[in-house]
């Protein structure tokens, strides 16, 4: 592979600022404000796309993009196969990090916390709300396992389609939701001369406090 020099890639950040006067008492409120602006920006196709980082007992971090499907007063909800690599890692180490990057807003949010499964009832509700193809795909795919080829997936999907021709598919027990309960937020706003604004929120003694970090 030929080397590629990226040293001269440059971007000036000057669209906004994050001053202490902009802060909310709760980081959830500030996140909601930023998310609504990102979601309304036509340049951002999926404002709810977030990077999820996990590390199992082997201590090797792994990051992938998943979709935020609910934000409530407790935390951030996403769905996956419990037998996937991330699902197995969360059994071994329930702490994770999620991050959102909205380039057109020149904003990033990093959130750390403990992850736990949501209730089976709530997982059922979400699963049943998905398009039929997505439900059948979740049943057909042995996520993260080695498979022979694409044709294997097509055969498995065909089997599932035949099986559920006359009945509604139910959520498989190995698929459902997780919620990340935040203990840490970091809000990053790009600024000129790389002197970016960084505000950290920490949860301690049942309350949130904020500090400014050097860029």
- In the chain, where are the structural domains located? 20-129+174-213
pLDDT digits (tens, 9 = 90+) for 150-165: 999 899 999 999 989 8
Active site annotation includes 194? yes
Spot the catalytic one: 155, 194, 200, 212.
194
Percent over 70 (pLDDT), the chain: 100
pLDDT tops 90 at residue 71: yes
Percent over 90 (pLDDT), the chain: 89
Overall average pLDDT of the 131-149 stretch: 92
Per-residue confidence band for 3, with pLDDT thresholds at 50, 70 and 90: confident
Per-residue confidence band for 117, with pLDDT thresholds at 50, 70 and 90: very high
- Which residues, 6+ apart, have CB-to-CB distance to 35 below 8 Å? 47, 48, 71, 100
Q: What is the pTM of this model?
A: 0.93
What was the pLDDT predicted at 195? 96
Classified by CATH at the fold level, domain 20-129+174-213 comes out as Pnp Oxidase; Chain A (2.30.110)
What was the pLDDT predicted at 2? 76
pLDDT tops 90 at residue 42: yes
Average confidence score pLDDT of the chain: 95
For residue 175, give the nearest of 211, 214, 122 by alpha carbon: 122
pLDDT tops 90 at residue 166: no
Cα–Cα–Cα angle for 147, 150, 151, rounded to 5 degrees: 100
pLDDT digits (tens, 9 = 90+) for 83-110: 999 999 999 999 999 999 999 999 999 9
pLDDT tops 80 at residue 46: yes
Q: How far apart (Å, rounded) are the C-alpha atoms in residues 183 and 96?
A: 11
Q: Where are the alpha helices (DSSP H) in the chain?
A: 27-39, 85-92, 120-129, 132-140, 150-163
Per-residue confidence band for 41, with pLDDT thresholds at 50, 70 and 90: very high
pLDDT tops 90 at residue 73: yes
């Amino acid at each position: 592979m030929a080397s590629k020099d990226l040293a001269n890639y440059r971007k000036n950040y000057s669209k906004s600022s994050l001053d202490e006067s902009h802060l909310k008492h709760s980081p959830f409120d500030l996140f909601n404000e930023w998310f609504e602006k990102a979601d309304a920006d036509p340049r951002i196709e999926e404002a709810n796309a977030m990077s999820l980082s996990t590390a199992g007992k082997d201590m090797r971090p792994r990051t992938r993009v998943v979709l935020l499907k609910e934000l409530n007063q407790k935390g951030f909800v996403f769905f996956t196969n419990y037998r996937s690599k991330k699902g197995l890692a969360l059994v071994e180490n329930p702490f994770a990090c999620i991050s959102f990057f909205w380039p057109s807003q020149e904003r990033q949010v990093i959130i750390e916390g403990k992850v736990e499964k949501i209730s089976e009832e709530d997982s059922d509700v979400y699963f049943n709300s998905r398009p039929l193809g997505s439900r059948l795909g979740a049943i057909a795919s042995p996520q993260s396992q080695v498979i022979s080829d694409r044709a294997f997936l097509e055969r498995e999907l065909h089997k599932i389609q035949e099986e559920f021709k006359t009945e509604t598919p139910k959520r498989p027990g190995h698929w459902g939701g997780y919620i990340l309960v935040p203990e840490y937020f970091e809000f990053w706003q790009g600024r000129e001369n790389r002197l970016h604004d960084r505000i950290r929120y920490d949860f301690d003694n049942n309350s949130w406090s904020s500090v400014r970090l050097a860029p």
